[in-house]
Chains A and B, each alone.
Chain A
């Protein structure tokens, strides 16, 4: 189906035998045979089952709960309410940084959003717990909630993970006033809820002051710290196992209220407790992508050059916490423009707090901004690709910094060529398929910042010549078990078979949060440098020992490859790791490494992954039903560790972009504030038939600045660009510009 342009090994790849190989997932067989143990697959002896009782009003308070009726149901062991919830060591509303979300842990009888847990029922069986929850028959005093963006507006202090809410360059007003052409449009994006295949789950066991948790998390260390704080436990007494996540998408980055409630239930009952969210409970207390209304103004001169833009996002946050979708930021790095202004405003509504959802800010911002760019191109009478090339940014517009690398022109070229873009008519409603359905072509530029968190790893070479790499990484399905092991093998100069890679538990070195598309870069660089530290020690042992064939080779240098050190100037001369350790009479040799951003490089360069996405959409002109015929994305994101995994990330991201453009939306009843489509029957995501063919092209890019391995993130960028490419294609097919997402068939009936 797809074609992979394999990355050629770059000049800085020292060993290079594993990195770049399209290995299949090392745990794939376990997964397809049911052998992979997800959190909810753990059943310790004496296990109890807990369910949360979600509030069915969005604002007000709980007046009564029939605890006696619930407890009288056979099998029900305990009902946890604000009355008997065990004390916590800290206020779950305490917030010391923007990544720390306020938790709803049965503080009082107030209801802040539909779906907020108002009690937890614990029983010997799941069925009994569920029936107990129904028997609680909560009664409420309800107030009328607000779930739209039409309420009181305030200026947020910060947006997303603590980013500035506003940025300015040049005189936007003057530039817009004097522009030869202006485009102004308002776009709306709906609330969307992360729905990983694996819902949030925890199996919690206390053993004295020790806590054992099976719990999917994208941040082992962060989750451990959060739980340690809440429960007053020493971090080292908490052991979290999270070997596999059935998807996270940002919602498992920090511990959410339900997991903490599961732990509280274990504390209350003194027995191991399992709490797994039901699908409908995923639409409440575990974060979501908040709705936005975005107004974009663009100014153009006579030649079609952008002279200014203004991007204002109004976003929703909850009544009790702050997370404002940072959607206005996306244009800051996209096109050459002398004046720009990006800002945010927010409205408090009665929902759970929005949070990070795959490409937070970028996804919502991109579908609006790249739609506006399409509108501007048409206003300028230019082909959308020619328009983008005309306004190509050689330096980051907001900062005037050079890019650490930017192969976007190659992405445009390779993507457009593969798609066949050059034959596109400028006017809409010009193309039909053989049966008379309208066809449209649209494109969008994809962009995502190349970030780095901090991560650590520990490496060991054992006397038998084999190696161990330890890094508390997170495999969310993206392939960390495989890709990180590939880096580990190269870092240690070992074949994959001689490597034991340990990951996915909280007792290992903290390899950094798997978020912000940083995991391979952060953990990978930590792993690589841990490997290098061990090799350095081994090298010192060898070259300093006259019994070694490598004695004295220090100056010319040695290479680690296939479990051996060899002379750089004469590859015939070398010695195996095992021999070196044997002679030195050492059982093993150890080293550790770090991965983190280089502040001076980050100061000097703007760092982003880029891409170009092209879409063909067919629309039935009478009935409005749409289908995506083709999607082609070309992406450049630095070094590719495993092209198979990277391709999957791009394809998955692009499908999400399709979902954003045409399907996904949570529908609130405005009177009750409840989400009326909190299930997979009605909360639509694309099915296979919605997309006839797709392709991701991996464009080669060498980045000497982002980090030593030259890795940028690939997990989120695929959504950006794609949503707008499809929306623009729908416009090109029909001539109808829909600015409220997702686009539905009723919008196209004309």
Chain B
């Protein structure tokens, strides 16, 4: 590991000032960053440890019913917060489907949003990777890319964003709260992540030194609490990243979908909001035919970036299933295998 400075600021202003120096990185729980540093993938010259900053570890309900979550709230704390999981059950389900209990107990909200891709070529410093070393090329193209993007990718990068948490946040229109040298700003999560284009090293809209101080879920998002699910298909039953995942949230009035929210995970460089699919669902009956149509819409622009055409077929089925699960109602209690196809299913959800 390279030698680096370690700074423990007393407040957000100090943290921002320290991190604005070139070569700095924020350190939260380090479950991603330290791995990257040990592998020589990330070599910051100074670490600005945010874990001791005051005031960022709260989960608050605001007067209008919106909820504000501090950047340092642990993934598991948020998932087990009753007020939160009652309003945003798919977010809790997504959180509990991620990583392992130990990692969830450590990992923070801010760190989860900013975790890096799991592209193996990004981690392997001997490989060409435009994200890690801009301009060096992309060895994932033409390589082992079974798990890579099918939406929004470019010839410069085909990596995906791996977070589960961010998928329902994207569906529900969460706002990312940012603080930097020039003050505070709020950015909708749908605008927060950048597609790779020809600068895959730029992953989000943060300027140097800006930090995430929290995430806000708007009050209207709670209107979907009765019908929302997160579904995550993976290569083993637990402790694996999503092959493809979907967060589906519906407002159903008299059997008709008044409004739908849908986002996909594991398919693109950002958690993917499926606006066209949502539009296709609005006003449609809550039926399998509607869900299948929406699934087609969600993947209309998808194309394989390599050996991964199956993800498109699979993705459509996941969307159909997630919508069917959402339509059949949020479960009373969190299933023992959150977001898993092996969690209890209502009758008729499985099709073939």
Which residues of A pack against B, CB within 8 Å? 56-57, 74, 127, 130-131, 134, 435-437, 618, 620-625, 627, 662-663, 667, 669-672, 674, 676-677, 681-682, 684, 686-690, 744-746, 749-750
Contacts and interface: CB of A to CB of B under 8 A. Distances in A.
B40 interface: yes
Contacts of B139: 669, 671-672
B124 A674 contact: yes
A621 B318 CA distance: 12
A681 B119 CA distance: 12
Nearest to B241: A681
Contacts of B310: 746, 749
16 contacts: A57-B126, A435-B347, A436-B347, A618-B342, A620-B350, A622-B351, A622-B352, A623-B233, A624-B314, A671-B142, A674-B127, A676-B120, A676-B143, A687-B237, A746-B314, A749-B310
Instruction: Sort A-B residue pairs by CB-CB distance and give the 5 closest, nearest first.
Output: A436-B350, A56-B126, A689-B237, A435-B345, A689-B238
A737 to B, nearest CB: 18
B39 to A, nearest CB: 8
A520 B92 CA distance: 50
Nearest to B342: A627
Contacts of A688: 238
B236 A663 contact: yes
A642 B350 CA distance: 46
Contacts of A686: 236
Contacts of A690: 236-238
A687 B144 contact: no
A313 to B, nearest CB: 25
A688 B351 CA distance: 28
Interface string B311-342: 00110011011000000000000000100111
B239 to A, nearest CB: 5
Interface string B119-148: 011001011000000000001001110100
A676 B237 contact: no
A669 B138 CA distance: 13
Contacts of B346: 435
A621 B350 contact: yes
Contacts of B350: 435-437, 620-622
A745 B337 CA distance: 18
A683 to B, nearest CB: 11
Nearest to A676: B120
A134 B40 CA distance: 8
Interface centre among A130, A677, A746 (most CB of B within 10 A): A746
A130 B1 contact: yes
A672 B317 contact: no
Contacts of B239: 687, 689
Given A127-B1, A622-B321, A744 B238 contact: no
Contacts of B351: 621-622
Contacts of A56: 126
A180 B189 CA distance: 65
Contact of B235 (A131, A436, A674, A744): A744
A684 B147 CA distance: 14
B234 interface: yes
Contact of B127 (A131, A436, A672): A672
B127 A623 contact: no
B240 to A, nearest CB: 7
B317 A131 contact: no
A687 B240 CA distance: 10
B63 to A, nearest CB: 41
Nearest to A280: B39
Nearest to B243: A745
A625 B341 contact: yes
Interface in B1-59: 1-3, 38, 40
Interface centre among B40, B144, B234 (most CB of A within 10 A): B144
Interface string B194-214: 000000000000000000000
A620 B341 contact: yes
Contacts of A689: 236-239, 337
Contacts of A435: 344-347, 349-350
Contacts of A662: 236
A436 B342 contact: no
A684 B240 contact: yes
A436 B238 contact: no
B118 interface: yes
A422 B272 CA distance: 48
A258 to B, nearest CB: 19
Contact of B317 (A623, A667, A669): A623
A676 B146 CA distance: 12
Given A57-B126, A689-B237, 12 more contacts: A131-B1, A436-B347, A622-B350, A623-B314, A627-B237, A667-B144, A672-B139, A682-B118, A682-B120, A684-B236, A690-B236, A746-B146
A749 B313 CA distance: 8
Interface centre among A57, A618, A625 (most CB of B within 10 A): A625
Given A677-B120, A687-B237, A622 B317 contact: yes
